[in-house]
Amino acid sequence: MALIVQKFGGTSVGTVERIEQVADKVKKFREAGDDLVVVLSAMSGETNRLIELAKKITDQPVPRELDVIVSTGEQVTIALLAMALIKRGIAAVSYTGNQVRILTDSAHNKARILQIDDQKIRGDLKAGRVVVVAGFQGVDEHGNITTLGRGGSDTTGVALAAALKADECQIYTDVDGVYTTDPRVVAQAQRLDKITFEEMLEMASLGSKVLQIRAVEFAGKYNVPLRVLHSFQEGPGTLITIDEEESMEQPIISGIAFNRDEAKLTIRGVPDTPGVAFKILGPISAANIEVDMIVQNVSHDNTTDFTFTVHRNDYDKAHKVLDKTALELNAREVVGDTNIAKVSIVGVGMRSHAGVASRMFEALAKESINIQMISTSEIKVSVVIEEKYLELAVRALHTAFELDAPARQGE
């Protein structure tokens, strides 16, 4: 008998029929003897509908009041699921974030969970009830309703699992697990049985959007075993956990992530003096533009070239900021490119394997793909290439790192 937290997203509860299906699934677990806490999102589209309603009143809704409105989305689904469970003879009770209570800070629309009072839930579990909790929402110390921001329901699930010391937090979604890469790009992509929190973080932030990054961080911090599963298909999914075993069979890399949302900007011929990096990135950050990769090469004639990537939507804005900086720094020129893509190999295995990066570069060279930027971390190597080569690069790397071998089991 395990204590399991199950989280179902918006599409999984998007219609009354789907809520009935979720109830069937929960019932099966309950009848197998598990104690269950179920976290739900709003019906898909509902949060947007509520935000649109607020926007009809004002373009800039007060964050506190916006939270009062959008939090009603999950409040509806939790009660519907509780009703559906009770109809099936399964004792159940629903709780809003305020009722649990999930205490957050007061940063409306993007609050962070501070503490969860698990007494009420434990009492219900003891009494044999399935507890259905509204995801994405909480309450601050003054009793104001808060929301965690988009995707916050994953975080609610993980935080509840951590507070209750649950055996597993299951995230039900529209994919059946985490893959070695996007199956739409590489047909031989494999579902991973297991992946570490660190790898998942690199995969998620690099564009494999299965789980919310904050939820993975949270799970890693509190060591909550996290499992990604398909809402309406059977299967073991992918377990995200700490790196316990360093077995021989462990693959060097777990997956290939990629991202075509970025653009590249280079400022050439800036004086190579202390503080120049801040002079370049300070104004970018002041303009609220997020920077991803940053590369500065060794200097040449006391000047250097400085390159970074931003989201493609921020490219024009960043270019203007940089033009101004270039004038001030008396730099030679500013050049940029939006036709780029970032490809990364991710894997804790590379920590103990030399030559992973060179194997990557070799595979790309074989396909005559030019590498424009390189950036590395302990468990990842990212390169920027011309966008048109993206699919080719991902497929080449997937093969080079032996990820498309048939049916990998128990790695």
Nearer to a copy of itself, 15 or 313 (CB): 15
Counting DSSP H helices and E strands in the chain, the numbers are 13, 20
Produce one character per residue of 236-248: b if its CB has 16 or more CB atoms within 10 Å, e if not.
Answer: ebbbbbebeeeee
From the CB of residue 184, how many other CB atoms can be counted at a distance below 10 Å? 9
Rounded distance between C-alpha atoms, residue 140 and residue 102, angstroms: 8
Q: Which is nearer to a copy of itself, 94 or 181 (CB)?
A: 94
CA 128 to chain centre: 33
Q: Rounded to an integer, what is the distance from CA 326 to the centroid of its chain?
A: 35
CB 20 to a copy of itself: min, Å: 7
Closer residue to a copy of itself in complex, CB, 76/213: 76
Q: Least distance in Å: CB of 64 to a copy of itself?
A: 7
Rounded to a whole number of angstroms, the minimum distance from the CB of residue 78 to a copy of itself is 7
Residue the block writes with tokens 């400085």: 306
Q: Quick check: 384 and 309 in contact, CB under 8 A?
A: yes
Residues that bind a copy of itself (CB under 8 A): 16, 19-20, 50, 53-54, 56-58, 61-62, 64-66, 68-69, 71-72, 75-76, 78-80, 82-84, 86-87, 93-94, 96, 98-99, 120, 143-145
Minimum distance from residue 288 beta carbon to a copy of itself (Å): 24
Composition of the chain by helix, strand, coil, percent to 5: 40, 25, 35
* 168, containing H or E segment: strand 168-173
117/261 with CB nearer a copy of itself: 117
267 has which bridge partners?
306, 334
Which among 375, 410, 390, 401 has a CA at the least distance from the CA of 180?
401
Considering the complex, state which of residue 123 and residue 271 has its C-beta at the smaller distance from a copy of itself: 123
Token digits for 375?
């950036």
In the bound complex, what is the minimum distance in angstroms from residue 12's beta carbon to a copy of itself? Answer: 15
Report, in Å, the least distance between residue 58 CB and a copy of itself: 5
Q: Which is nearer to a copy of itself, 125 or 291 (CB)?
A: 125
Of the pair 137, 307, the CB lying nearest a copy of itself is at: 137
Least separation in angstroms between residue 109's CB and a copy of itself is 13
